[in-house]
Amino acid sequence: MRIDWSQIETVLLDMDGTLLDLHFDHHFWCDYLPKVFAEERDWSLERSHAYLAPLFTQWAGTLKWYCVDNWSQYLGLDIMSLKRNVSERIAYRPKAQDFLRVCQRETGDVRMITNGHRKVLDLKIEITQIDQYFDQMICSHELNHPKEDQGFWHALQETVPFDPSRALFIDDSEAVLNSAADYGIGHIYSIARPDSKRERDQPSAFPMIEEFCE
């Protein structure tokens, strides 16, 4: 699998599960948060999971899901403080930094586009200094649409115009990748193992990158 850089003018990269190991996020939402929530309410862990699971399903793919302020208000917990408690798990995926340097060398327009909240992005910048690799870093909240929606892509086009047919986009979410394809992004790749500690939930319809050293 090789990228023909002569066909690429703009690089659009997801953060969690693409450049950074999704293990941090899975651990936080599936293990740590349910445990803390159970302790706060003096509930069993099973009851905590049963309460949270419908919210995860209901809000998936929406700005509500990606908004830490929404979760803090709804659950009565300081979500960002809790994320800091386990921030030692924030880490790059293998060879991600090498790939980012290649992107910088090959194009003059490297952008991060993430559904993550700006507060979460700031924390991950603090831990990884990932901002050094990008010309622009955009959170979906700032465009009022998650990447799953076509509205996101139209709003992205209005920030700094680009040619979708000459854009490279890499993400680990199938719903997001499908949305990018519907918008006309010309070069789309998925990630074979977003979380280093677990198998991918489902195969992708798009070419999957095992490691960036490819």
List the beta bridge partners of residue 12.
111, 169
What pTM, to 2 d.p., does this model score? 0.95
**DSSP of 40-77, one letter per residue?**
HHT--HHHHHHHHHHHHHHHTTSHHHH-HHHHHHHHTS
> Measured between alpha carbons, how far is 65 from 71 in angstroms, rounded to an integer?
8
**In the chain, which stretches have pLDDT less than 70?**
1, 214
Q: Give residue-wise pLDDT tens across range 65-90.
A: 999 999 999 999 999 999 999 999 99
CATH fold for the domain made of 5-21+91-209: Rossmann fold (3.40.50)
Q: Where are the domains of the chain?
A: 5-21+91-209, 24-88
Q: What pLDDT is stored for residue 203 in this prediction?
A: 86
Strands (DSSP E) contained in the chain are 10-13, 110-114, 136-139, 167-170, 187-191, 208-209
